[in-house]
Amino acid sequence: MCGIIGYVGETEEHDALDVLLEGLSGLEYRGYDSAGIALANGSIAVRKKEGELSALESALEGEALAGDAVGIGHTRWSTHGPPSDRNAHPHTDADGRVAVVHNGIIENYQPLREELADGGVTFESDTDTEVVPHLIAAFLEAGLDREDAFRRAIGRLEGSYAIAAVFEGEETIYAARNESPLVLGLGDDGHYLASDVPAFIRYTDRVIYVDDGEFATLTPETVTVTDADGRVVETTVETIEWDAEDAGKSGYDHYMLKEIHEQPSALRECLRGRVNELERSITLEELPALEWEGPVQFVACGTSYHAAMFGAGLLESRGVPARPYLASEYTAAERPVGPDSLVVAVTQSGETADTMRALREANAAGATTVGVTNVVGSSAAREADHVLYIRAGPEIGVAATKSFASQQAALTMLACALSETDAGDVVRALRDVPDGIQTVLDTSTAREVAEAYEDADAYFFIGRGPQYPVALEGALKLKEITYKHAEGFAAGELKHGPLALVTDNTPVFAVVVGDGERARKTVGNVKEVEARGAPVVAVTDGQTDIERYADHVLEVPAGDELAGAILANVQLQLVSYWVAHRLDRSIDKPRNLAKSVTVE
């Protein structure tokens, strides 16, 4: 969601304005509708604009703001008040003594706003954030120093937040975190803070992850992390294992296309050291022998929920009761969760607010928890009892691609580990997946399919078993980046209502791999569609006769259902990409969406 960047350092080495603008550029993938910066060497200079970062950069042209050594920046994803210059961050107090940026939601902002208004404060925005600088100012007027005023103001807040503040005439950034990501970067010539590492990866790869309830104070020389009572917290400095080049486009037109093409290497990294072909075994050293008695519960949102469905289905097929839950609908009080439960939280960023709330409820209920995430040091990685990293590498495009494939692979291995069943079939399937994806990338005709159906009224996606979550994910990708209507269905459900919507301008994408009963039944569903005049696109490995009923065929290498589900997804990603490309959509930054959804 919103993005935060902060820098304090040596002006002769880095200019704060340049660092902030580059940092905001590195956070654009998170989704935003306005941007702003505040510089604070002398008096605080705030500049902010509705729209893309380029609008802010244009507004800054010709301004004499260079030379500052401390500042904060922000990209806003609207929650309280529409996108506008006045609602953009940073926000200040009435006298311009302090400027604040904020990611999250302050749940008690309305009574705080009323209290401040009763005291004579006039608000300039509709946001929940603006109460923070006014609270700080009130404590300053009561005689507190800047750090204590900041701490007292934070103590009044309820909700989720990552907050950074700067004061006029002081080369210091004050920050605090609760249920919203905040990471510190340690440089040789200054220090950084951000909501995510890409904001400052060009300058440093040494980071400290701030935990809930902690405060950070950054000066050009020092970084100090303290608890709510002001006691210094012992921190761990971690090294990021990727660099700025890994997070670039590498010559591709869009991050999404680059990340689709990175899937073979991402899968190999996910499997490395975990799949033993000689012994036909899978070993997850991160996970000890887990003990639980009830069904396994998966909690996730969006694309990660589709991966959770995929993983739960694999566990069920191996004799372990499992169920996926939408994290936004999950409450421990309404679910059979307790000390005998195993709860698996699936989240690419490790910061998804709904998933983190569900994970915390499971922890509070005494369940054993596993976080399946892509981000080392994320909230999910730190708060779950155990963590399984998917190792997809940095993913910048808002629409998840390589992280979904890596989640599929990671959850497949997890299913084997939890079921304690023979892994030979899975080892064989996973071994061939990276090369199979490369074959799809090299031979796909998805671009021609996109050209044929870019003007369709709607798009349907169908599949059975492991292919059902892939159908849902295919529909989600098309919605996200093309803004066209798309729906995914279990193939057998078409005849129970959705078939009424089928027309000759409603292409149906049918995922059919293998030659088992599920595949044969899906062919039957395709016949129903074909008989009603709808165009059919078959995503298939050719083991059935579905091609004879299809108008177009997207081929995947022959294999079992498991591998086929991962490979078929790549074809559907490519279809979505090329439809969006032909419609000239904002592929990497689709409207209204964010990469890391840190509000509920």
Catalytic site positions: 2, 595
Structure tokens belonging to residue 279: 């012994």
Pairing of strands 322-326, 296-300: parallel
Residues 6+ apart with CB under 8 A from 243: 201, 205
508 Cβ contact partners less than 8 Å away, ≥ 6 residues apart: 459, 460, 461, 462, 502, 526, 529, 534, 535, 536, 537
- The set of residues, in sequence order, having a beta carbon less than 8 Å from that of 146 and lying 6+ positions away, is 98, 140, 167, 170, 172, 174
End-to-end Cα distance, the chain: 11
Q: Given CA atoms 468, 471, 477, 480 in this order, what sign does their dihedral have?
A: negative
- Range 310-337 burial, b when 16+ CB lie within 10 A, else e: bbbbbbbbbebebebbbbbebebeebeb
- Which phi and psi (to 5°) does residue 173 adopt? -115, 130
Q: Distance between CA atoms of 397 and 162, rounded to whole angstroms?
A: 23
> Which of 194, 276, 207 is closest to 237 using CA atoms?
207
- 273: burial class by Cβ within 10 Å (0-12, 13-18, 19+)? exposed
Asked whether the beta carbons of 346 and 358 are under 8 A apart, the reply is: no
Q: Which two tokens stand for residue 402?
A: 């390589």
Q: Which residue has the tokens 């000239």?
A: 584
Contacts of range 550-555, beta carbons closer than 8 Å, 24 or more positions apart = 550/510, 550/526, 551/452, 551/507, 552/445, 552/448, 552/449, 552/452, 553/445, 554/444, 554/445, 554/446, 554/449, 555/440, 555/443
Q: How would you classify the pairing of strands 159-167 and 173-178?
A: antiparallel
Quickly tell me which residue has 């922000």 as its tokens: 74
Relative to beta strand 206-209, strand 183-186 is: antiparallel
Pairing between β-strand 183-186 and β-strand 173-178 as defined by DSSP bridges? unpaired
**274 neighbors 390 (Cβ within 8 angstroms):** no
**Dihedral angle over CA of 205, 234, 8, 28, nearest 10:** 50
Cβ atoms of 346 and 407 within 8 Å: the answer is yes
Q: How far apart are CA 540 and CA 520, in angstroms?
A: 12
